[in-house]
Structure 1
Amino acid sequence: MAMSEYGNKQLVEEKVFKDPVHRYVHVRDQVIWDLIKTKEFQRLRRIKQLGTLYLSFHSAEHSRFNHSLGVYEIVRRMIVNFQEFDEWNDDDRLLALAAALLHDLGHGPFSHCFESIFGTDHEAFTGRIILGDTDVNAALRKVSADFPLEVARVIDRTHANKLVVSMISSQIDADRMDYLQRDSYYTGVSYGNFDMERILRVMRPDTDEVIIKESGMHAVEDYLMSRYQMYWQIYFHPVSRGGEVILNLVLRRAKYLYENGYVFKQAPKYFIPFFDGTVTVEDYLRLDEMVVNFYLQEWIHEDDEILSDLSHRFVNRDLFKYLPFDGSIITITELEELFRKGGLDPEYYFFSDSYSDLPYDYDRPGSKSSRRPIHLKKNNGELKEISTQSAIIHSITGVHRMDSKLYYPKEKILQIEDMEVKGQIINLLNELA
């Protein structure tokens, strides 16, 4: 890729961001500095990294902005360490740094919960922002005409340079290494801590992937177990998931009301393109968590009782109770019918939530995974898939753990006037408990 003079331009003085995880984030490239200053990247300050997790862990208020800077910093440090190896081509340096910085550019408010309601895809919007009529695109095009497309292809994992792709998106990449440590720090737990310094020292560039020196196997074991613990102790915390449940129901109700001609006291101007399925990049960028929270506050005062109640619950953290659930369709159907008899709409006051995680797996005959493995480089130069060398990693390879919860408003059940129906609901819920 032929690069312009701008692509090689360095700042007169290095810029640094103070960071609680990496101590400092270092910026010397003019294009990276210019990308950080774009309005599209600055928007990430208004998108929380962990969505509704602050409802469980009060300090989990950090943003996609500081995570993105963290991923950039880890890739920058990878590149410094890769300089001495023939497999690394320094012509790819700026490509890797830009892709690392911009990899989460398309996240919407409350991330995955928002996507499930409106059918948006943050990865697709990342590409649309990078390739569209945006300040980010303008900065990238100053490097070269095809640089925006090159960056977008790294992020969507279609780029021919699989080594650069794996630095940002693989089973041991800069993205995961930052969010595990950052999320651990901001939630006040130690589950996500691992020896990143050691991992960076034993990482090696290979033809189409990042590999690990054999002596670093135990550091990778620690990293994978940290990831496992973070998912089950933090990311899948039932209170946080309960916040997502309420937000999901609020947005679902607002969409339903709009589609059925309801007249809002506060017209949902910024939601209309999402309700109509006509979202442009400009529409998407306009909607951040500050805007969503404004509407949630306003919807508390709507005449629709369900929208008002659910909005109040989210804003004031009056969440549903939850119980473990085995996924029985019979139980779900029976409870839904009883809720209707009791005057509670099960579409909005009864919710089942299931989640699962696969800590480590790789593509092999008979495997359901499409993941690329983590490879160890033996002292004799031979590459070995890591679970064949580590008993710890072998024990979690391909193990798909699942859990389910039922969410419901306990106080509304207790207010049901039909004593027989109320008793039947309580008995069924007590059986689940």
Structure 2
Amino acid sequence: MSYAKQKLKEEKVFKDPVHRYVHVRDTVIWDLIGTKEFQRLRRIRQLGTTYFTFHGAEHSRFNHSLGVYEIVRRIVDDVFHGRPEWNLDDRLLSLCAALLHDVGHGPFSHSFEKVFGLDHEEYTKLIVLGETDINRVLSKVGHDFPEKVAAVINKTYENKLVVSLISSQIDADRMDYLQRDAYFTGVSYGRFDMERILRVIRPREEQAVFKQSGMHAVEDYIMSRYQMYWQVYFHPVTRSAEVLLSKTLHRAKELYEEGYSFAHEPVHFKSLFDGECTLIDYLKLDESVVMFYFQVWQEEEDAILRDLCSRFMNRNLFKYIEFDPTEETQKYTELEELFRRAGIDPDYYLVHDSSSDLPYDFYRPGIESERQPIYLLMKDDVTLQELSTRSEIMKAISGKRRTDHKLYFPVDLLRDESSNRTVKRKIRNILEIYRK
């Protein structure tokens, strides 16, 4: 029997709080889970700094990746199997892509990427195609199998149906993280009827579609996603922690470039600071490494790095106010100058941050769409109609982007009047104006 079709002598299961069980029958999947690159995901939180806001949000990319795999396994084995539109040869490819779709994430994920100009999707590709244990497992399936897996994850694979299972406006990735993140944060927003969605999902040439009878379950899913973004993912306290994380890394990088002599040399960060982070260096990074440096950097001579690390480690976060930079440019410029006069570096202690989300989008003539639309399969089992043409709820929110702006600052430094008392009072007065 070929490696691709080889089954375990006995099915393996992972007990899971969201899906009850994650089932593994394929030897390939079991071997991939056991690789060091995949095990590394245990040391990277799914929600980055969200644990500062919701203390239960300690779950990992490892948990999530198994969950996405399980949803795709249920779709291809229980729903798509035997249907003429589904090619059984794409089964293992779909499972591997689902399992590995996040394998390139680094510590604190997107915040980390922004600081160093990294792209986790690029590192995912390098892990799948490079000299790794994951590549060796995939190559045993076929010499071109790693390229196919990378193409699915990169959304360039020729079979768009396979791509849509892990990358579309309603896919296994989102269906898992919404429920998983809701469970671990303790909120109810991310809950939706996934069982109903799995009952009505159907394969078509370009993408997975949904029976018209399941429209309300799809609506519920999209509204759950909308609520999760604004109540959890964009929570201002979480964003404050992200600001601290980002500014701490920026400060360490700036000091390194200036030739600063660290008491605790950032050995693991040097290739990042130099802009030459190899795959080997990248795979050595996880959140325990970052937290180690933040812990020891609390003893550095540089006052800013020492203070930012202490704030992050001890959850002394920046406060925030509503702030729209397009309307308050003059006020922001004035605040920057006052911060400097107060002896507080605005580059690190006065930070504007924006969050933006588009809950649902579809193609409209003359208007560029950001995403592939969701289609409903009509009762004739042939006709497809775009979701918002049948749903008044989706019609009301389609293409409408919501953006939120906040200004972050250390309120404790502004209340300390041991120095620059008059200037700090001016700053507080301006910030009070904002609050009104």
TM-score, normalization by structure 2: 0.98
How far apart are residue 364 of structure 1 and its match? 2.8
Equivalent residue, structure 2, for 1:147: 145
Equivalent residue, structure 1, for 2:335: 335
Equivalent residue of 1:26, what SS? strand
How far apart are residue 209 of structure 1 and its match? 0.2
Q: Which amino acid aligns with 2:358?
A: L
Write the distance in 2 (CA, Å) between the matches of 1:38 and 1:49: 19
Output one character per residue of 1:270-310: Cα deviation in whole Å (capped at 9) or x when no partner.
00000000111110000100100000001000000000000
1:134 aligns with 2:132: yes
1:201 aligns with 2:202: no
Query: Which residues in structure 2 correspond to 1:13-162 (within 5 Å)?
Result: 13-79=10-76, 80-162=78-160
How far apart are residue 423 of structure 1 and its match? 2.0
Write the distance in 2 (CA, Å) between the matches of 1:330 and 1:187: 39
Output one character per residue of 1:61-107: Cα deviation in whole Å (capped at 9) or x when no partner.
00000100000000000012111311011110000000000000000
Write the distance in 2 (CA, Å) between the matches of 1:216 and 1:84: 21
Equivalent residue of 2:385, what SS? strand
Equivalent residue, structure 1, for 2:421: 419
Equivalent residue, structure 2, for 1:396: 397
Query: Which residues in structure 2 correspond to 1:297-312 (within 5 Å)?
Result: 297-312=295-310
How far apart are residue 421 of structure 1 and its match? 1.4
Q: Which amino acid aligns with 1:24?
A: Y
Gaps of 5+ in 2: none
Write the distance in 2 (CA, Å) between the matches of 1:330 and 1:215: 54
How far apart are residue 333 of structure 1 and its match? 1.1
Output one character per residue of 1:43-75: Cα deviation in whole Å (capped at 9) or x when no partner.
000000000000000000000001000000000
1:186 aligns with 2:187: no
How far apart are residue 414 of structure 1 and its match? 1.9
My pick for the range that moved more, 391-400 or 321-330, is 321-330
Write the distance in 1 (CA, Å) between the matches of 2:276 and 2:83: 48
Equivalent residue of 2:157, what SS? coil
Name the CA shift for 1:19/1:363 in 2 (closer, same or farther; >3 Å): same
My pick for the range that moved more, 204-213 or 406-415, is 406-415
Equivalent residue of 1:18, what SS? strand
1:246 pairs with one of 240, 244, 247: 244
Write the distance in 1 (CA, Å) between the matches of 2:73 and 2:340: 57
Output one character per residue of 1:289-336: Cα deviation in whole Å (capped at 9) or x when no partner.
010000000100000000000000000000011111122222221111
Equivalent residue, structure 2, for 1:221: 219
Output one character per residue of 1:207-227: Cα deviation in whole Å (capped at 9) or x when no partner.
110000000000000000000
Runs of 4 or more, structure 1, over 6 Å off, are none
How far apart are residue 370 of structure 1 and its match? 2.6
Q: Which amino acid aligns with 2:311?
A: R
Write the distance in 2 (CA, Å) between the matches of 1:431 and 1:326: 13
Q: Which amino acid aligns with 1:229?
A: Q
How far apart are residue 415 of structure 1 and its match? 2.2
How far apart are residue 365 of structure 1 and its match? 2.4
Write the distance in 2 (CA, Å) between the matches of 1:189 and 1:366: 39
How far apart are residue 173 of structure 1 and its match? 0.2
Q: Percent identity?
A: 62
Equivalent residue, structure 1, for 2:263: 265
Write the distance in 1 (CA, Å) between the matches of 2:420 and 2:368: 48
Equivalent residue, structure 1, for 2:348: 348
My pick for the range that moved more, 402-411 or 178-187, is 402-411
How far apart are residue 130 of structure 1 and its match? 0.4
Equivalent residue of 1:255, what SS? helix
Equivalent residue, structure 1, for 2:279: 281
Write the distance in 1 (CA, Å) between the matches of 2:44 and 2:374: 31
Equivalent residue, structure 1, for 2:430: 428
How many residue pairs were aligned? 430
Equivalent residue of 1:224, what SS? helix
Gaps of 5+ in 1: none
Equivalent residue of 1:104, what SS? coil
Output one character per residue of 1:131-166: Cα deviation in whole Å (capped at 9) or x when no partner.
000000000000000000000000000000100000
TM-score, normalization by structure 1: 0.98
Write the distance in 2 (CA, Å) between the matches of 1:320 and 1:171: 34
Write the distance in 1 (CA, Å) between the matches of 2:314 and 2:60: 21
Write the distance in 2 (CA, Å) between the matches of 1:370 and 1:353: 22
Q: Which amino acid aligns with 1:246?
A: L
Equivalent residue, structure 1, for 2:321: 323
Equivalent residue of 1:399, what SS? coil
Equivalent residue of 1:204, what SS? strand
Write the distance in 2 (CA, Å) between the matches of 1:19 and 1:273: 37
Equivalent residue of 2:355, what SS? strand
Equivalent residue of 1:163, what SS? helix
Write the distance in 2 (CA, Å) between the matches of 1:378 and 1:165: 23
Equivalent residue of 1:300, what SS? helix
Write the distance in 1 (CA, Å) between the matches of 2:365 and 2:136: 44
